[in-house]
A and B are shown apart, each in its own frame.
Chain A
Amino acid sequence: MTLGARLGLIAALCVAGALILPLIAVVWRAETLSGFKPSDAGVLWFTLWQAVVSAGLSVLLAIPVARALARRQFAGRGAVILILGAPFILPVIVAVLGLIAVFGRSGVVNVALAAVGIDPVTLYGPQGVILAHVFFNMPLATRLILQGWLAIPGERLRLAATLGFAPPDTFRRLEWPMLRSVVPGIFLVIFLICTTSFAVALALGGGPRATTVELAIYQAFRFDFDLSRAAILGGLQLILGVGAAILSLRLTLPSGLGAGLDRAVPRWDSASPLLRAQDAVVIALACGFLLLPIVLVLGEGVWHLTALPSSVWLAAVRSLAIALAAAILTLTLALPMALAVVTTTRGGWIEVAGTLSIAASPLVLGTGLYILLLPLTNPVKLALPVTLFVNVVLALPFALRALIPAMRDLDRDFGRLSTSLGMRGLDWVRLVAIPRLRRPAGFAAGLTAALAAGDLGVIALFASPDQATLPLVLYQLMGSYRLDEAKAAALLLVVLSLGLFWLFERGTRHAEA
Chain B
Amino acid sequence: MLKLEAVTLSQGSFTLRADIGFENRGVTALMGASGSGKSTLLSAVAGFLRPSAGRITIAGQDVTDLPPGARPLSILFQDQNLFPHLTLAQNTGLGLRPDLRLTDDQRRTRDEMLERVGLAGMGDRLPRDLSGGQQSRAALARALVRGRPWLLLDEAFSALGPALRNEMLDLLRDTAMDQGLSVLMVTHDPADARRIADSTAIVTDGEVTAPLPTQALFDAPTAALRRYLGD
Contacts and interface: CB of A to CB of B under 8 A. Distances in A.
A452 to B, nearest CB: 29
A416 B69 contact: no
Interface string A141-167: 000000000000000000000000000
Contacts, number: 65
A416 B39 CA distance: 14
Given A420-B68, A420-B69, A431-B86, A414 B95 contact: no
Contact of A421 (B48, B84, B98, B126): B98
Contact of A416 (B77, B83, B95): B77
Given A421-B95, A422-B70, A423-B69, A513 B127 contact: yes
A422 B73 CA distance: 11
Interface residues of B, number: 27
Main secondary structure of the interface of B (DSSP, over half): loop
Most buried by A among B48, B67, B68: B68
Contacts of A419: 47-48, 67-69
Nearest to B46: A420
A313 B144 CA distance: 60
Contacts of B74: 420
A416 B146 CA distance: 16
Interface residues of A, number: 20
A513 B135 CA distance: 14
Contact of A513 (B81, B94, B126, B146): B126
Interface in A425-454: 426-427, 430-432, 435-436
Contacts of A421: 69, 94-95, 98, 142, 146
A414 B98 contact: no
B85 A512 contact: yes
B83 A414 contact: yes
B50 to A, nearest CB: 13
A417 B146 CA distance: 14
Interface string B62-89: 0000011110001101001101111000
A413 B98 contact: no
B219 to A, nearest CB: 36
B99 interface: yes
A115 interface: no
Contacts of B75: 416, 420
A417 B75 CA distance: 8
Contacts of A432: 83
A424 interface: yes
Given A427-B98, A427-B99, A432-B83, A416 B127 contact: no
A259 interface: no
Contacts of A416: 46, 48, 68, 75, 77
Contact of A422 (B69, B84, B85, B128): B69
Contacts of B128: 513
Interface of A: 413-414, 416-417, 419-424, 426-427, 430-432, 435-436, 511-513
Interface of B: 46-48, 67-70, 74-75, 77, 80-81, 83-86, 90, 94-95, 98-100, 126-128, 142, 146
16 contacts: A416-B48, A416-B77, A417-B77, A419-B67, A420-B47, A420-B69, A421-B98, A421-B142, A423-B94, A424-B98, A427-B99, A427-B100, A431-B86, A431-B100, A513-B84, A513-B128
Question: Which 9 residue pairs spanning A and B have beta carbons closest together?
Answer: A422-B69, A513-B84, A427-B99, A435-B85, A423-B98, A419-B68, A420-B68, A413-B80, A513-B128
Given A419-B48, A424-B69, A513-B85, 13 more contacts: A413-B80, A416-B75, A416-B77, A417-B77, A419-B47, A420-B69, A420-B75, A421-B95, A422-B69, A427-B98, A436-B85, A511-B85, A513-B126
